[in-house]
C-alpha cells in the first residue's frame, strides 16, 4: 500500500519534470531596454513570440533569449487591454503548445506556471485553478490560479496537467496569479497576423 503510494508520488513527480522540460523548450526570456525581463512563449512553432505588453518597452531595443543565445526581435502588434504583445523573432523555434479551452476548466485542477521569476531561469510553480472570471458578455476574461508568481513570470505560460496552454501569466492580485485565457491570446495573434496580411 505504502509502496504503491510512493510509486504514484514518484510518478507525479516525474510527470512534472517532463512538463518542465517541455516548457523550457517552449519559452524565451524577453528583454527590452534597461528595464527588467519577462517571459515569452514561442507561438506556432517558430518565428513568433507572444508575451505581455508590459514586458515590452516601446521604442527600446528588444531581444529574446532561447537556448542561451540572445537574438534581435521586434514587436508586430500590441493589445493593451489584454496586456498582450506579438513579437517577430525569426530564428527562434520550439514546440507548439496545444491550447486549452477555458470553458472546460474546473476549479481545483492542477496548473503550472513557467517563467523566469526575479531573473531565475526556467522556474516552475504548481498550484490549482481558482476561478475563471467573465466579462459582461459572459466570455472568459481572466484565469485566476492559486499559484505563486513573481516579477519575471509575466508573459510566461500557465499550463494544465497535460501541458496544454491555459493562459499567459500577467499579474498578481491579492496573492493569486492572474492569466490571460489562451482563447483570447489566439484571437489576438490571428487578428494581428491577418491585419498584416491585408
Q: Which residues here bind other proteins, judged by CB under 8 A?
A: 8, 11-12, 15-16, 18-19, 21-22, 25, 45, 95-98, 106-110, 127-131, 144, 146, 160-164, 174-176
CB of 95 to other proteins, least distance (A): 4
* DSSP calls for 46-74: EEEEEEEGGGS-TTS-EEEEETTEEEEEE
Question: What is the β-pairing status of strands 140-146 and 84-93?
Answer: unpaired
Min dist CB 5 to other proteins, Å, is 11
- Angstrom distance (rounded) from CA 93 to CA 85: 18
Q: With residue 43 as reference, give the H or E element that holds it.
A: strand 37-43
Cell of 134: 467573465
The minimum distance between CB 78 and other proteins, in angstroms, equals: 25
Q: Which is nearer to other proteins, 23 or 55 (CB)?
A: 23
Contact 28, 146 (CB under 8 A): no
Q: Which is nearer to other proteins, 106 or 136 (CB)?
A: 106
d(CA 62, CA 74): 6
Q: Is residue 115 within 8 Å of residue 23, measured between CB atoms?
A: no
| Closer by beta carbon to other proteins, 60 or else 107 | 107
Nearest approach, Cβ of residue 31 and other proteins (Å): 26
Closest distance of CB 53 from other proteins, Å: 25
Closest to other proteins by CB, 75 or 188:
188
Q: Which CB atom, from 91 or from 162, has the smaller least distance to other proteins? A: 162
Amino acid at each position: 500500500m505504502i509502496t504503491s503510494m510512493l510509486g504514484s508520488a514518484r510518478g507525479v513527480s516525474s510527470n512534472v519534470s517532463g512538463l518542465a522540460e517541455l516548457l523550457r523548450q517552449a519559452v524565451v526570456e524577453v528583454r527590452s531596454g534597461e528595464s527588467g525581463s519577462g517571459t515569452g512563449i514561442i507561438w506556432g512553432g517558430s518565428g513568433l513570440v507572444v508575451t505581455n505588453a508590459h514586458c515590452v518597452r516601446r521604442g527600446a531595443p528588444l531581444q529574446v533569449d532561447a537556448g542561451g543565445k540572445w537574438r534581435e526581435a521586434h514587436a508586430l502588434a500590441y493589445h493593451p487591454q489584454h496586456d498582450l504583445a506579438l513579437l517577430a523573432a525569426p530564428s527562434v523555434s520550439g514546440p507548439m503548445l496545444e491550447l486549452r479551452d477555458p470553458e472546460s476548466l474546473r476549479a481545483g485542477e492542477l496548473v503550472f506556471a513557467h517563467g523566469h521569476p526575479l531573473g531565475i531561469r526556467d522556474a516552475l510553480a504548481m498550484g490549482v485553478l481558482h476561478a475563471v472570471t467573465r466579462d459582461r458578455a459572459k466570455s472568459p476574461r481572466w484565469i485566476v490560479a492559486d499559484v505563486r508568481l513573481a516579477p519575471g513570470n509575466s508573459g510566461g505560460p500557465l499550463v494544465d496537467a497535460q501541458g496544454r496552454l491555459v493562459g499567459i501569466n500577467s499579474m498578481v492580485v491579492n496573492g493569486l496569479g492572474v492569466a490571460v485565457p489562451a482563447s483570447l491570446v489566439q484571437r489576438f495573434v490571428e487578428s494581428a497576423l491577418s491585419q498584416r496580411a491585408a
